[in-house]
């Protein structure tokens, strides 16, 4: 067994221990978190295991390494692990979920830290809504009661009736922990399908790896603010004069990014420099989710 596989087995067995990436908050005039991280592929590695080991989303890992086969990466290849990022444009408070980058940020009160987790979100046609809300309920070992719409959709897709109630246990799609967003039907919860993390795979809820949701559940209080946003392009003017940008693939229902549909804020940030415009055009053509300086 590879070193990565053995480490992954140990990591998955330590439920409840912190597996998020923890960053010191930058000053208010900066948004940059972390440093570039790389990983050398070993025999037997594949992207899902690498993503879980580094606690990043699968699609984020694929986007950061577009020239690597995610199923059969070559031994010795050097992968970019997307652990460096820019904070999204949102108040540094409570929970912030950026749909476009499939990440959840948690800003604990009274601490100059931010905890970052990969998440799964609603698939096309069942989009996770953009809202400002709060944690309205916390439940350990939740019972899953699929809505009538879910049951109808399941019958249409599979030709069999879905149970009206799934008790806690290995067959429960909520995993062991769930936190309700306000009074809505949307939850932040665990999962019994790890492949859905870092992807659009849910019916609208926010999915997390089990160690991640257990830690968040134990550290987030009822009433904590939850802000769900959708920012495919993140930018930062840094103290050293650098202009940094991070581009993600937009959600499919928003349509493709283009230089003709940039927001005024992005247009002002890029400016009139032809090389900066060309650089953004290339990032829009192939978003990689990597922080890059405009040069």
> Using one digit for the tens of pLDDT, what is the confidence trace for 145-171?
767 777 777 677 777 777 667 777 677
Mean pLDDT of 254-267: 84
Say if residue 18's pLDDT is above 80: no
Domains, the chain: 3-86 (3.10.350.10), 94-229 (2.40.440.10), 233-293 (no CATH)
Annotation says 10 is catalytic? no
Alpha helices in 143-204 (DSSP H): 148-158
Q: Tell me the C-alpha distance between 96 and 94, whole Å.
A: 7
> Using one digit for the tens of pLDDT, what is the confidence trace for 23-32?
999 999 999 9
Mean pLDDT of 14-42: 84
Q: Supply the pLDDT for residue 163.
A: 67
Return the closest-CA partner of residue 115 out of 106, 124, 104, 123.
Answer: 106
Burial of 252-262, coded b for 16+ CB within 10 Å and e otherwise, reads eeeeebeeeeb
19 pLDDT band, cuts 50/70/90, is low
The single residue of 10, 54, 158, 189 carrying the catalytic annotation is 189
> Using one digit for the tens of pLDDT, what is the confidence trace for 93-124?
999 999 999 999 999 999 999 999 999 998 77
Least confident of 132-136, 158-162, 182-186: 158-162
34 pLDDT band, cuts 50/70/90, is very high
The single residue of 205, 221, 248, 276 carrying the catalytic annotation is 205
Least confident of 12-26, 75-89, 96-110, 262-276: 12-26
Mean pLDDT of 44-57: 92
Q: Supply the pLDDT for residue 211.
A: 92
As a residue count, the chain comes to: 295
Report whether 294 contacts 241 (CB < 8 A): no
């Amino acid at each position: 067994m590879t070193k990565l596989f053995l480490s992954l087995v140990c990591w998955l067995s330590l439920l409840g221990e912190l597996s998020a990436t923890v960053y010191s908050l930058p000053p208010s005039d900066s948004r940059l978190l972390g440093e570039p991280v790389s990983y050398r592929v070993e025999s037997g590695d594949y992207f899902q295991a690498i993503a879980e080991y580094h606690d990043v989303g699968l699609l984020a890992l694929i986007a950061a390494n577009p020239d690597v086969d995610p199923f059969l990466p070559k031994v010795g290849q050097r992968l970019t692990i997307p652990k460096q990022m820019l904070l999204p444009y949102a108040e540094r408070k409570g929970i912030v979920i950026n749909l476009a980058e499939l990440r959840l940020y948690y800003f604990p009160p009274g601490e100059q830290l931010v905890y970052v987790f990969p998440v799964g979100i609603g698939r096309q046609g069942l989009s996770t809504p953009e809202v400002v809300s709060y944690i309205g309920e916390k439940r350990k070992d939740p019972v899953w009661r699929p809505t009538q719409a879910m049951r109808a959709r399941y019958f249409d897709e599979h030709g069999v009736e879905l149970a009206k109630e799934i008790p806690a246990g290995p067959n429960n799609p909520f995993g062991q922990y769930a936190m309700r967003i306000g009074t809505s039907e949307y939850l932040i919860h665990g999962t019994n399908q790890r492949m859905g993390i870092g992807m659009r795979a849910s019916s609208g809820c926010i999915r997390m790896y089990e160690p991640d949701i257990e830690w968040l559940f134990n550290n987030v209080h009822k009433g904590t603010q939850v802000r769900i946003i959708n920012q495919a392009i993140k930018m930062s003017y840094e103290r050293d004069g650098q202009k940094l940008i991070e581009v993600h693939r937009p959600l499919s229902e928003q349509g493709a990014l283009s230089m003709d549909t940039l927001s005024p804020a992005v247009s002002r940030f890029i400016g009139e420099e032809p090389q900066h415009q060309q650089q953004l055009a290339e990032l829009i053509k192939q978003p990689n989710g990597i922080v890059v300086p405009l040069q």
